[in-house]
Each structure stands twice: as C-alpha cells, then as structure tokens.
C-alpha cells in the first residue's frame, strides 16, 4: 500500500489533536507526519503512534513534499496558508469556513457527496460541524422522498468554539460552586448553567452566520439549491457533542417507520429510537464515536408531509476531524493524491 506525507496545521488545538487520534485509530497510511501551528505553539511535543513529534512554526517551506494537508487553524490562517500549500502540491482539507462557499472548492461529506472530491483544485472544504451531522441523517431520506423544508434548532457543545471555550465552561462551573465570579474569555456570555442563543456574529436578517452556514452548506452538499432551511443555533453547557432538533417537510408523505427503514442501512447513521425504554441519543453517550445518532423519529404535527427527529454526534470527530480524515481516505480511494 502506498503511504503519504501528511501535515496538520493547527495540531495543538482541540480538532488538530482529534485529527491525530483519528488518523491513528483508522490506521491511515502515513509515510511522514509534520505537525504545524503558530509560532506561539511551536515547540510543543505531541505523541503519535508511540513517537514524539515537535510542533513546528508554519512557513511556506513546511508544505514541501506534503501530499495531504489537514487544516484546523481558523479562517484567517487558512486563507493565507491553504493556497500556499496547494501551490506546493498538497491537497488541503480545510476545516474552517474560509473556502466552503467558493464555487470551485468542493464541500464534502463522504456519506453524501464523495464524488465531489474530483472537482478539487488543491483545496477541499470540510463543512460546519452542525451541517455535517444533519446532512448525514437527512440525505438518505432526501434521496427517497425529496425534502422541501428543514427547520432545525441546535444545542451545540462548547468544544465547537475551541479548546479555550472548554476551559471557559470548566472554570466557570468550578467558580459557581466556589461562590466566585468568572466571566468566559471566549464565549459571548456566561455558559455555566445557561444557554446562549447565539453562535458566531449576527447578520442583517437577524440570523447568525452559523445559522446561515447551515442553510447554504446544506444546499451545496446535497446539490439541492431550492431546499429551505431555517436554523436557530444555541450554545449549551456540554463539553462535547452537538444535538439537533430537526423537522423536515417532504414532497411525498413519509411515515416514521419508512424513515427508520431508510436510515437503518444508511452509511454513518445509527438509530437509537425506543423512547418508552428511555433510548434516544445524548451527547454524553456519543463522545468518541464517529457515527451520527438519530432518535425520537415521529410524525410532525405542523406539516402535512412532516417528520421530526433528534440528531446527535461528536462535533470534534464526525463534525470535524473524522470527516476530514474520511475525505482524505476518499482521495486515496480515487487515486487523486
């Protein structure tokens, strides 16, 4: 089997470290590994497959001889370094929002649109974490019954805002119990024992940028430009695992039984749907797993052809790191690298 030279930019962050874990678990064929970050994080030691690697400060020369570059360093850094890495011959799989809506950059979820990788010109975008788990659950239904409308409310873990946000929740929770005051450094409001109905900045139409990502990215990934999506994205005091309440309206009638039958054999989906015995997906149970878990599938009472469900996934893995590694595996499968 051929092996590949792999670089990770943002290797010291929550998603970067999870990428390393996923690469090791999936026995990804690596010849040489290069860990990259900002100058501030350079010198950090990280273990991979029993060996110690020293994180290097990223430079243009960092990408010489690299086949696949996994990026999780934020939009501003991606805009600088992704074109440089691609010019050096690497295929960049970028976890930020920098290139997702660029018309010549594929936006890929391997369970939904793997063939789109053929369209890449050196950069492939990894979608938003909430979008990924939703389309994995909905696309199999869309293929059978064509979805017209999606209404989704998300309950997103603090890890979606990075390692510092995880610290915010931990420190603020401890402070509450100790009768002290701690104001989060990263999140826009108190998060311990609270929910924040805002993720990313507000736009002119009253929706946040995160909510509009779910609209635009869903249309692009599913090749469904007319699908209507209304999202409300909420930050909750959970460390890992995004949950979503999803209601869809289909062109043809669909029953909960039909939906379960469609989803039971769909790639990347696990059904946990036995409410009478308290069986439904919860973030505490999906941490460390790569599948998208679906439960509470029921007839919606507002739409004629409506269906409601509850969708949960580990946002650091399927919502970010695992999806990126799966894209890399698709590149290998199609001999595109």
Model confidence over 297-332: pLDDT tens digits?
999 999 999 999 999 999 999 999 999 999 999 999
Q: Do 221 and 90 belong together in one domain? A: no
The total of other beta-carbon atoms located within 10 Å of residue 75's CB is 14
Are 311 and 246 spatial neighbours (Cβ–Cβ below 8 Å)? yes
d(CA 124, CA 122): 7
Report the pLDDT value the prediction gives residue 1, as an integer from 0 to 100.
Answer: 84
Statement to judge: residues 122 and 17 lie in one domain: yes
Number of domain units in the chain:
2
If asked whether residues 107 and 137 sit together in one domain, one would say: no
For residues 79 and 67, membership in a common domain is answered with: yes
**DSSP code for 127:** P
Residues 301 and 167 in one domain: yes
Q: How far apart are CA 211 and CA 196, in angstroms?
A: 14
For residues 120 and 186, state if they share a domain.
no
Same domain, 276 and 174: yes
Distance between CA atoms of 39 and 32, rounded to whole angstroms? 21
Q: Mean pLDDT for each 10-residue chunk of the chain (337 residues)?
A: 96 96 98 96 96 97 98 96 98 98 98 98 98 98 98 97 94 96 94 97 97 98 98 98 98 97 97 97 98 98 96 98 98 96
Residues involved in catalysis: 129, 242
User: The domain containing residue 327 runs over which residues?
Assistant: 4-127+320-333
Judge if 234 and 327 occupy the same domain: no
The CATH number of the domain holding residue 226 is: 3.30.360.10
Nearest-angstrom CA–CA distance, 84 and 122: 10
CATH number at residue 9: 3.40.50.720
Q: Which pTM was predicted?
A: 0.96
Say if residue 91 is in the same domain as residue 153. no
Looking at the structure, do residues 259 and 328 belong to the same domain, yes or no?
no
What is the per-residue pLDDT for 125? 98
**Is residue 291 located within the same domain as residue 162?**
yes
């Amino acid at each position: 089997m051929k092996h590949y030279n792999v670089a990770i930019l943002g290797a010291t962050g929550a998603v970067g470290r999870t990428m390393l874990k996923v690469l090791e678990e999936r026995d990804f064929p690596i010849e040489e590994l290069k860990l990259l970050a900002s100058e501030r994080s350079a010198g950090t030691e990280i273990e991979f497959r029993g060996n110690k690697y020293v994180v290097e400060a990223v430079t243009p020369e960092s990408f010489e001889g690299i086949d696949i570059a996994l990026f999780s360093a934020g939009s501003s850094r991606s805009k600088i370094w992704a074109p440089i890495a691609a010019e050096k011959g690497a295929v960049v799989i970028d976890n930020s929002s920098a290139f997702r809506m660029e018309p010549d950059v594929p936006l890929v979820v391997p369970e939904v649109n793997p063939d789109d990788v053929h369209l890449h010109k050196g950069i492939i975008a990894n979608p938003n974490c909430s979008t990924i788990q939703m389309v994995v659950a909905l696309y199999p239904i869309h293929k059978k019954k064509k979805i017209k409308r999606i209404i989704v409310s998300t309950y997103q873990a603090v890890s979606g805002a990075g390692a510092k946000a995880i610290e915010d929740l931990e420190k603020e929770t401890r402070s509450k119990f100790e009768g002290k005051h701690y104001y989060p450094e990263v999140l826009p409001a108190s998060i311990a024992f609270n929910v924040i109905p805002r993720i990313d900045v507000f736009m002119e139409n009253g929706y946040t940028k995160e909510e509009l990502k779910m609209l635009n990215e869903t249309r692009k990934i599913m090749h469904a430009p007319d699908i209507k999506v209304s999202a409300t994205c909420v930050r909750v005091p959970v460390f890992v695992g995004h949950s979503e309440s999803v209601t869809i309206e289909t062109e043809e009638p669909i029953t909960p039984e039909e939906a379960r039958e469609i989803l039971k054999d769909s790639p990347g989906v696990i059904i946990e749907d036995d409410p009478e015995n308290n069986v439904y997906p919860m973030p505490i149970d999906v941490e460390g797993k790569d599948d998208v878990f679906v439960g509470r599938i029921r007839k919606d009472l507002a739409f004629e052809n409506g269906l409601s469900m509850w969708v949960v996934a580990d946002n650091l893995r399927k919502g970010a790191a695992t999806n990126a590694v799966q894209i890399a595996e698709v590149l290998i499968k199609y001999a595109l690298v």
